[in-house]
Amino acid sequence: MGKHRSEKFKFRAFLGVYMGISAIVMTVSGIILYIAPPGRIAHWSYWAMLGFTKTEWQHIHTIFTFIFVIAGIWHIYYNWKPLMNYLRRKSKEAAKIRQEMVVATIFSLLVFAGTYWYVFPFSTVLDFGEEITDSWSNEENEPPIPHAEELTVGEFARVKNIPVQRFQHLLEQGGFKVSDTTMTLQQIAEQYNVTPNEVAKAVSSAGSMNTFGTGYMQGSGFGRKLLSEIIKENNLNWDESIAKLKTAGITVEEDDKLKNIANDNKVTPFDIIKALELEL
């Protein structure tokens, strides 16, 4: 019997298969990131889908996209001659598909411009994604401040206006013994295999803690709220509020999200909150 010879590894075939798998992974991760909650909620409650957190999906999407580009370059390198022959052959037929090439180019430019200028129907797709993203937010999973999980015990206690020793005592009552006040809420959560949100809830249930009130902290997502919602939440009068904004040089034609009104007036959502004389 002759000695069995193993087939030589075909790198071109490997690239083709890998790029196909990558396309699937990038599509799935892209869809999941499209509907995922904002980072402040995802990190506070360790939101996950299919067993992976938002951060992990972002890493997966980034790395697969990065390697996909490298694989694409290698794919072109290994298939350079067939590609050049194909292009030369197609260049002779260019006159036959000239109309299609022009239309495809114009369509691509329209998609780019429509997305940049945020016009229909591209704005509808983007708004729909934001609505899904906003739907994850509720009183149970909204962090008290953005990136609260990154605060140390000492920093969190100061923000809460509670003595550090008292805060440590509340943590211990909630089931979390912490001797090092430089530990972050995220580190505590990882140590006890819970979420930062659960650590904060345990502290709240262990003792009556001071709240942050209804102030609007940067990154808390209030820019996505309608102006009418902000006014209603703070028991303000619509006409008086519009007058205050007008005095501050902010014109409101109709009810809209704060970020959109801010963009139209070339200000920030915080400028609107300040003009309404609300607590920051």
Bond into 269 cis (ω within 30)? no
- Which of the pair, 228 or 143, is modelled with greater confidence? 228
Positive/negative CA dihedral, 153, 158, 161, 162: positive
pLDDT digits (tens, 9 = 90+) for 1-26: 455 555 788 888 888 899 999 999 99
Distance CA 52, CA 38 (A): 15
pLDDT at 199: 87
* Whole-number Å distance between alpha carbons of 132 and 34: 8
Cα-based angle 251, 255, 261 (whole degrees, multiple of 5) = 45
pLDDT of 92: 66
d(CA 259, CA 105): 32
pLDDT exceeds 80 at position 49: yes
Over residues 107-123, the mean pLDDT reads 93
Mean pLDDT check: name the lowest of 46-50, 51-55, 105-109, 275-279: 275-279
Residue 254 to residue 251: CA distance in whole angstroms: 9
Q: Looking up tokens 């069995």, which residue turns up?
A: 4
Give the integer Cα–Cα distance in Å for 231 and 236: 5
pLDDT given for residue 208 in this prediction? 44
Per-residue pLDDT tens digits for 180-212: 889 999 999 999 999 998 888 877 655 444 444
The yes-or-no verdict on residue 112 having pLDDT over 90 is yes
The Cβ of residue 258 has, within 10 Å, a number of other Cβ atoms equal to 22
Residue whose C-alpha is closest to residue 132's, from 36, 55, 46: 36
Q: Look at residue 135 and tell me whether its pLDDT is greater than 60.
A: yes
CA 35 to chain centre: 9
